[in-house]
């Protein structure tokens, strides 16, 4: 039972993210650009307060690590960090747009296919191996995407863009080792905020005056950005990344539930078939991990 708190933290993080559609829909009458800008602004403020208030020692360590790197490695680290910030902008922008302007099902589908896309990028970019069972799952995922494209090429395009940008973010950041994750995210969000200011007039055509808008975006920054990140990092202290990868699927499960129960979104036959195929693909893809996670949990909780 020693790791019960860490399992609870990991589960709580993805359940929280699973309800993200609710506050986004609450401010859906505002532009996607305005929501993105103030989400990043408030997240930046909160993260900087945490870093300079509670993680100054870790910040000094990270700066020492950065200075100890060779010039080429230091340049690579800086470029990867900036690339991560840019990818977060695109990923958050597309996710907000999908939820508020298309449908929640599409956003959910994005995070169902994201782990498979991450594995493919890892195969091509990091030379990571895939088993024959995982390649079968990749083929099923491709079939599912084709069916989604037949149903709506627009929805598939947005799903793929959201999944691809987050997958590319994850794969690119695997090379940024040896740094505190929270500090790294703070730097990336700060960089994102700087970039967004160059496009402020395009993103925020009219400055919101409603206190409700700022209250909800601040809630999004704290409750749906920083808090689940803290919980995720806490979970990773004692739970391996494979287990966290399995828990990630709680996110689209809750998203789908909200789409159908709260917002009464409809689903047609092609979508049912497509979603069913992707579920089978995910089970096959993660089957070895499921066995390891199940064994680990039985061992920890008995």
What pLDDT, on a 0 to 100 scale, did the predictor assign at position 26? 96
What pLDDT, on a 0 to 100 scale, did the predictor assign at position 107? 93
Nearest to 100 by CA among 11, 36, 172: 36
What pLDDT, on a 0 to 100 scale, did the predictor assign at position 60? 96
DSSP output for the chain: -TTHHHHHHHHHHHHHHHTTHHHHHHTTTS-HHHHHHHHHHHHHHHHHHHHHHH-HHHHHHHHHHHHHS-HHHHHHHHHHHHHHHHHHHHHHHHHHHIIIII-HHHHHHHHHHHHHHHHHHHHHHS-----HHHHHHHHHHHHHHHHHHHH-HHHHHHHHHHHHHHHHHHHHHTT--SS-HHHHHHHHHHHHHHHHHHTHHHH-SS----HHHHHHHHHHHIIIIIHHHHHHHHHHTTS-HHHHHHHTTHHHHHHHHHHHHTS-----HHHHHHHHHHHHHHHHHTHHHHHHHHHHHHHH--
Q: Where are the domains positioned within the chain?
A: 42-193+240-300
Output the 3-class SS for 144-198. Answer: HHHHHHHHCHHHHHHHHHHHHHHHHHHHHHCCCCCCCHHHHHHHHHHHHHHHHHH
What pLDDT, on a 0 to 100 scale, did the predictor assign at position 1? 46
Record the pTM: 0.90
- From first to last of its 302 residues, what are the pLDDT tens digits of the chain? 457 788 888 889 889 999 999 999 999 999 999 999 999 999 999 999 999 999 999 999 999 999 999 999 999 999 999 999 999 999 999 999 999 999 999 999 998 898 888 888 888 888 888 889 889 999 999 999 999 998 899 999 999 999 999 989 988 887 777 889 899 999 999 999 999 999 999 999 999 999 999 999 999 999 999 999 888 878 877 776 556 667 778 889 899 999 999 999 998 999 999 999 999 988 888 787 667 666 665 665 55
């Amino acid at each position: 039972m020693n790791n019960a708190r860490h399992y609870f933290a990991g589960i709580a993080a993805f359940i929280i993210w699973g309800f993200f559609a609710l506050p986004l829909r609450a401010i859906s009458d505002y532009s996607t650009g305005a929501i993105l800008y103030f989400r990043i602004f408030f997240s930046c403020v909160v993260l900087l307060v945490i870093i300079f208030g509670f993680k100054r020692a870790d910040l000094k360590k990270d700066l020492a690590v950065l200075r100890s790197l060779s010039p080429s490695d230091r340049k690579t680290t800086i470029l990867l960090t900036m690339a991560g910030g840019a990818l977060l902008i695109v990923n958050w922008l597309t996710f907000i747009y999908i939820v508020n302007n298309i449908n929640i099902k599409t956003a959910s589908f994005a995070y169902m296919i994201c782990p498979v896309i991450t594995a493919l990028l890892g195969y091509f970019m990091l030379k990571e191996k895939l088993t024959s069972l995982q390649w079968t799952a990749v083929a099923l995922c491709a079939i599912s995407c084709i069916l989604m494209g037949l149903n709506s090429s627009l929805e598939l395009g947005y799903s793929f863009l959201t999944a691809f940008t987050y997958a590319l973010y994850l794969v690119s950041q695997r090379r940024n080792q040896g740094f505190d994750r929270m500090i790294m995210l703070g730097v990336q969000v700060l960089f994102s905020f700087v970039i967004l200011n160059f496009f402020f007039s395009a993103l925020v055509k009219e400055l919101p005056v409603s206190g409700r808008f700022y209250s909800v975006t601040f809630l999004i920054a704290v409750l749906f950005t920083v808090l689940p990140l803290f919980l995720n990092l806490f979970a990773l202290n004692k739970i391996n990344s494979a287990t966290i990868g399995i828990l990630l699927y709680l996110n689209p499960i809750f998203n789908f539930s909200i789409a159908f129960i709260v917002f009464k979104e409809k689903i047609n036959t092609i979508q049912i078939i497509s979603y069913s195929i992707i579920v089978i693909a995910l089970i096959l893809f993660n089957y070895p991990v499921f066995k390891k996670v199940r064994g680990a949990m039985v061992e920890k909780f008995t």
